[in-house]
Chain A
């Protein structure tokens, strides 16, 4: 029975290569390069971790049997992360991606102890000779959906279901708002902080509360598609987070900011294979296809699609920076002069909100 079932696994292709035990792998003519991934959530979250795992699978498919990827999911941030990182290194993974900010201290510690293994930490700021960091300019995508929200909203009020006021989330809110105000100078954004990345029922109730406060378009920086479902039910519009979530809310889902980590992962694997891997901080965006805009909903009029595409293309061409002055914060202080562009450093430490944001 075992043989038949194992063959079924191979035929189905579900983790077929990952299921090969160490010995089989070594028996192949050339050892495949082992690449490990550390996930904070389950691969079935349909959000952040799901997106990383999709990229892992794409990377595996791209290189075929030249590499062998494997992952550990649901790793608590802290000592367990440190342990699993060591374990992945000891199992022969030459390149390891730690995909959550909370893995930072653990990754830095293990990278220092194991100088021959290459580590990559997502969204952090600690680097070393064998520890690189990478992030995606999701805020560029927020500028695109902000443009859409500004044009599609009838009430001129957008709702924003948010997790924690960390710079990553704050810069997204500001870019959304700045873009929306460009097309509708009276646009307002109401932000609702939930202090959680994931609680479907609470996310749904938050979306309802925002809708009842007059928001007719809702965006989110939490992980579950629950706010979109509320939009679908109430006939409002919303945007997907991390993945294309149109299957959950076909009418409400205008588009989504899709995390596409595959180009980066494929490139970094190649660098290790070629022996050209170097540390650094990579912050890719729309241009490098790390941030993607999901297909537009048919409900969007052509002029909205066109405006959204224009913003997207201008960002790709480098002619538009989503945070360009004059920018005044919601307490009246001028943050950027006319024509001044926000530096990466400013974005990475952002803790203020632009005019029109109520949080």
Chain B
């Protein structure tokens, strides 16, 4: 018997939207069994990870703040993924965006003006896009896989960050601690809700999602991206340039990642530190897939993943669940989604083995 997957002729909407729900349900079930076997109260722990943060209004701003960079990066990545452009170096673009914005911040230190923060944001957009342009150009000109180059450049960006905060940008009054000085008032993203971390960057993320949704579903550019991804041959016949699409999607995803980096840097850290990158650029890839590469889906996926981060901290204090369990849960969530997803798009057929040529 052989297992075969065959594309379904028509996708049922129920299956389409039901799949992520099923994936999360399966994750919860597996988590429950696993944690119980490990000697914890499995049901309680899973409830704390997935449900409790959603029931407590105090946690909502936390979810928004945690989801914000993930959603912003993933929104850009999803556009590229749709066009078969695999930018997996968003982490690097996130870092370079923050570096560019911090450069402006350090240069304008003590300058009070409404234009300082917008200038920092602009610098981060340019920085992130420029970092993404390198793999884009290499792919367009030399056909070098952007998967490999964008990944490699992430580590270059990380070392660049280390170099700057340990060397030229180190806070002169910071006792040699490897970090820049604190940003001043004019360089900090405004807070939206006293007593929480909720900041204006969350609004920018929502705006980015809405624009992406509009562009992807209502404009010719969005159509072009989808056609290039689904049917490159047809796109060429239709006069759509693949090169332009590659460049455009890489620049957009790099720009959004860079912007997310600076927002995180300015709104929540208030300075550039070596601890600032925490793999949001990689986690966002998972968010993009959780969101089925759709802007609104990405928003939901980002919130789901952020909830699991925050819930995992609750489970640590309430159920003494080790932090490492979070990683397992998040990986499982994606494993199940990828698995279930395939069954939405395809049907499983069992067939008797066919005669094969001997290899």
| Contact surface of A with B, Cβ cutoff 8 Å | 1-2, 5-6, 8-9, 12, 14-15, 18-19, 21-22, 36, 42-43, 70-80, 82-84, 86-88, 90-91, 101-102, 105, 113, 164-167, 170, 195, 348-349, 351
Asked if residues A19 and B176 are in contact (CB atoms below 8 Å), the reply is no
Contact sample, A vs B, 28 pairs, CB 8 Å cutoff: A2-B42, A5-B36, A6-B39, A9-B40, A15-B320, A19-B40, A22-B318, A42-B324, A72-B316, A74-B323, A78-B269, A78-B273, A78-B276, A79-B264, A79-B268, A83-B62, A83-B66, A86-B196, A87-B62, A87-B313, A90-B58, A164-B176, A164-B178, A166-B177, A167-B175, A170-B176, A195-B166, A348-B175
Contact of A102 with B273 in the complex, beta carbons under 8 Å: yes
Residues of A within 8 A of B177 (CB): 101, 164, 166
| Known contacts A76-B278, A77-B273, A82-B268; is-contact A18 B176 (Cβ 8 Å) | no
If A19-B41, A87-B313 are given as contacts, then 16 extra A-B residue pairs at C-beta distance below 8 Å, sorted by A number, are A2-B36, A6-B39, A8-B39, A9-B39, A19-B40, A43-B322, A71-B316, A78-B269, A79-B268, A83-B313, A84-B313, A87-B59, A87-B62, A113-B195, A165-B176, A166-B175
**Considering the chains assembled together, what is the distance between the CA atoms of A15 and B66 in angstroms?**
28
> Is B320 touching A70 in the complex (CB atoms < 8 A)?
yes
Q: Which residues of A contact B276 (CB under 8 A)?
A: 78
A39 to chain B, nearest CB (A): 9
The answer to the question of B204 belonging to the interface, with a C-beta cut-off of 8 Å to chain A, is no
In chain A, what residue has the closest Cβ to B44?
A: A21
CB < 8 Å: which of B41, B318, B324 contacts A2? Answer: B41
CA distance A22 to B43 in the complex (A): 15
Contact A5 B39 (CB under 8 A): yes
Assuming the contacts A9-B40, A76-B275, A101-B177, asked whether A42 and B323 have C-beta atoms less than 8 A apart, the reply is yes
Asked whether, in the complex, the Cβ of A78 is within 8 Å of the Cβ of B275, the reply is yes
Q: Distance in Å from the Cβ of A74 to the closest Cβ of chain B?
A: 4
Closest B residue to A6 by CB, please name it.
Answer: B41
Residue among B65, B314, B320 making CB contact with A87, cutoff 8 Å: B314
B162 within 8 A of A: yes
A101 contacts across to B, CB distance below 8 A: 177
Q: Which of B39, B166, B178, B269 has the most CB of A within 10 A?
A: B39
A234 to B72, CA, bound (A): 52
Assess whether B317 is interfacial by the CB under 8 Å rule. Answer: yes
* Contacts known (A5-B37, A9-B40); A72 close to B317, Cβ less than 8 A: yes
Residues of B within 8 A of A170 (CB): 176
Contacts of A349 in B (CB 8 A): 175
Q: Which one, A6, A74, A88, contacts B317 given CB within 8 A? A: A88
The number of residues on chain B lying at the interface, defined by a beta carbon within 8 Å of a beta carbon of chain A, is 43
Q: Which B residues from 196 to 249 make CB contacts under 8 A with A?
A: 196-197
Shortest Cβ distance from residue A274 to the other chain B in the assembled complex, whole angstroms? 25
B residues at A contact (CB < 8 Å): 36-37, 39-44, 58-59, 62, 65-66, 162, 166, 175-178, 182, 195-197, 264, 268-271, 273, 275-276, 278, 310, 313-314, 316-320, 322-324
Q: Determine the chain A residues whose CB is within 8 A of the CB of B43 once the complex forms.
A: 2
Residues of A within 8 A of B278 (CB): 76, 78, 80
Asked if A72 and B313 make an inter-chain contact with CB atoms under 8 angstroms apart, the answer reads: yes
CA distance A73 to B175 in the complex (A): 26
B residues in contact with A77, CB < 8 Å: 273, 275
* Contact status of A351 and B270, CB under 8 A, knowing A73-B322, A83-B66, A113-B195: no
- Within 8 Å by CB of A14, from B39, B270, B318, B323, lies B39
CB distance from B2 to the nearest CB of A (A): 37
Kindly state the separation between the CA atoms of A75 and B323 in the bound complex, as whole angstroms.
9
- In contact, A83 and B310 (Cβ under 8 angstroms): yes
Q: Is the CB of B317 within 8 A of A71?
A: yes
Q: Taking A78-B276, A102-B273 as contacts, is the C-beta distance between A167 and B176 under 8 angstroms?
A: yes
Distance between Cα atoms of A5 and B42 in the complex (Å): 10
Q: Within 8 Å CB of A87, what residues of B? A: 59, 62, 310, 313-314, 317
Query: Of B166, B197, B271, B316, which is within 8 A of A83 by CB?
Result: B197
Q: What residues of A have a CB within 8 angstroms of the CB of B320 in the complex?
A: 14-15, 18-19, 70
CA distance A22 to B52 in the complex (A): 13
Who on chain A is nearest to B66 by CB? A83
Please name the residue on chain A nearest to B43 by beta carbon.
A2
